[in-house]
Structure formats: structure tokens, C-alpha cells
Amino acid sequence: MRWRRGERSGNLEDRRGRRLPGLRLPGARGGVPVRGGLGLGALLLLVVVGMALGVDPLALLGAGLGGGTRVQLPGDAPAGDAPPPVGAATSSPAEEQLVDFVSFVLDDAQSVWGRQVQGYSDAKLVLFRDVVDSGCGYARSAMGPFYCPADRKVYIDLAFYEELRRRFGAPGDFAQAYVLAHEIGHHVQNLLGTERRVREAQRAQPGQLNALSVAMELQADCYAGVWAHSTARRELLEHGDLEEGLAAAAAVGDDRIQEMATGSVSPESFTHGSSAQRTHWFRAGFESGDPSACDPFRGAPRI
């Protein structure tokens, strides 16, 4: 993707140097998390544990690539407690370049949506390591990137991008851009009232909880495609970028994750959509460039 390094976004909140006292992670000492988070191994373990307990395994993963669901950790204080101390974040030149890139994508995507949605207000992007305290509660990096509607912030541990490349087989800067654009898509849903209507419908129709969740995630994929369409029109895309975005959408399909974790697929437990569904709706947004074309709720329970 063609982009330029510049001043970092005013909507970027860097918490990579922040530690949450009293929370002990695997490999941590004295309650201070060690760099690296839980990674895909722990992510897959959560899937297996969820299935063994009869719990929706993707609910244990939270809202990785969308949703704002959080996991309350044992011994956690309620959200809203005094913020933990902040220290200097150790980083590498490569990571700082990645920070500049996500800053560029954040501002570019929100500029596009600012022209599409009347009264659009920007989301914040929070960079963190291992564990974060969000408006939706504490969350581990194993949940993957997520959007919290309560505080209108996107949360990303940049280590996820290495997992996306190495374990999920989805390399490239536009694969990374797709992830962030999807989460901004959830912010658009929040501003338009879609998120609220879906949650209300889920409470009224608990048997349709997963179907409604899938539809909302697929719409966020389509919204990511709408932004990608804009980048193509402005000649920001390079050869292979679209394929990188499609590969990332396919990599995080429910069927792909379940197959990796257990060797089997349970469509009835899908919460984000299959690889085929996710690539279909990302491409639909990319080809149309029109948010009104992003309606995976057709055929789903009414909201």
C-alpha cells in the first residue's frame, strides 16, 4: 500500500508501556506481563476449552476482529478504577514503522467515513501489550483486536499482526490495514445505531444470537471493503494488496479457526462468519464502494 509517514494521529493512544498491577500472565514475573501475550497457541487452547465446557468457543475469544466483548479476569478490579502506572515502552524501529502505518490507516479510514456518515465522530485507537483495561472491561491480547462501543475505542496489540502473518498465513500491509478497517466498521455501526439494534434483537431473540452476530461482523467486513474501494480510487493500492486483504478476511473465518483448533467445524457456533462469507462481503464493499450495499442482515432476523 502506498502511504507516507507523517505526524501520528491525534486519535492514537499508546499504552504499550502500561502495566496492570496484580494480573499475572503465563511467563510473567511479579504480576508484570512479559512482552508477547498469549499468542495463537493460547487462542486455540481457549477454543478447545470452550468446546469441552459446552461454551461457545468464539465467545471465549471475545470479539477478535470485532464486537467489543470482554473477558473479566479473576481478581480484576471493575473498569473505571484508578489507571495503572505508565512506563516507557520498549520498541524496535520495525514496530515504530508499524505504529506509523496503523496511524495512517486510522486517519485515512476515518476521513473516508467522515464524508460518508453525517455527524461522524472519530474513534480512538489504543495500542497495548498483553492486557488492557477498556470501557468494556479487561481484555487479553489473545482476544485479538476489538472495538468497544462503550468508550468508542479500537484496541490492538501489534503482536497480533505477527500471528496473522506467521500462523494464519496472511502477510502484507494491506492485511494489517483490513484488520483495522474492520474495527472502524464496528465504530460506524455504533454511530449509526446498528450495534444497539443488534444487541436488542439478541436479547429479544436469544436463539438468533449467533446469526445476528455473524451478520454484524460481515457488515463490518463490507465496510472495510468500502474503505478499500476508496484507496483504490485514489491509487493507494499496489499490486497484490486486494489479495492480501481477502486472504486476511479468509484467515479469520470461524471455520478456519475451528479447523485449526479442533480439526472439525461447527457452523451452528459461528459468530463472525465463514471464510467464504467474510471474503464475499469484503469484496462486496470493495467493488461497490457503497455502504448501502453492505446488508448481510437480509435473510437474518430483523433488527
Q: What is the pLDDT of residues 101-150, one digit of tens each?
A: 999 999 999 999 999 999 999 999 999 999 999 999 999 998 899 999 99
User: Residue 7 domain-assigned?
Assistant: no
- Write out the residue range of the structural domain in which residue 192 sits: 12-293
User: Residue 44 domain-assigned?
Assistant: yes
| Spatial contact of 178 and 217, defined as CB atoms under 8 Å apart | no
CB atoms within 10 A of CB 151: 15
Say whether pLDDT at 162 is over 70: yes
User: Residue 160 domain-assigned?
Assistant: yes
Angle at alpha carbon of residue 94, lines to 88 and 97, rounded to 5°: 85
User: Residue 258 domain-assigned?
Assistant: yes
- Structural domains of the chain, count: 1
CB atoms within 10 A of CB 85: 10
What is the value of pTM for the model shown?
Answer: 0.81
pLDDT at 5: 85
User: Residue 32 domain-assigned?
Assistant: yes
User: Residue 261 domain-assigned?
Assistant: yes
User: Residue 180 domain-assigned?
Assistant: yes
pLDDT digit string, tens, across residues 228-270? 999 999 999 999 999 999 999 999 999 999 999 899 999 999 9
User: Residue 125 domain-assigned?
Assistant: yes
CB atoms within 10 A of CB 199: 17
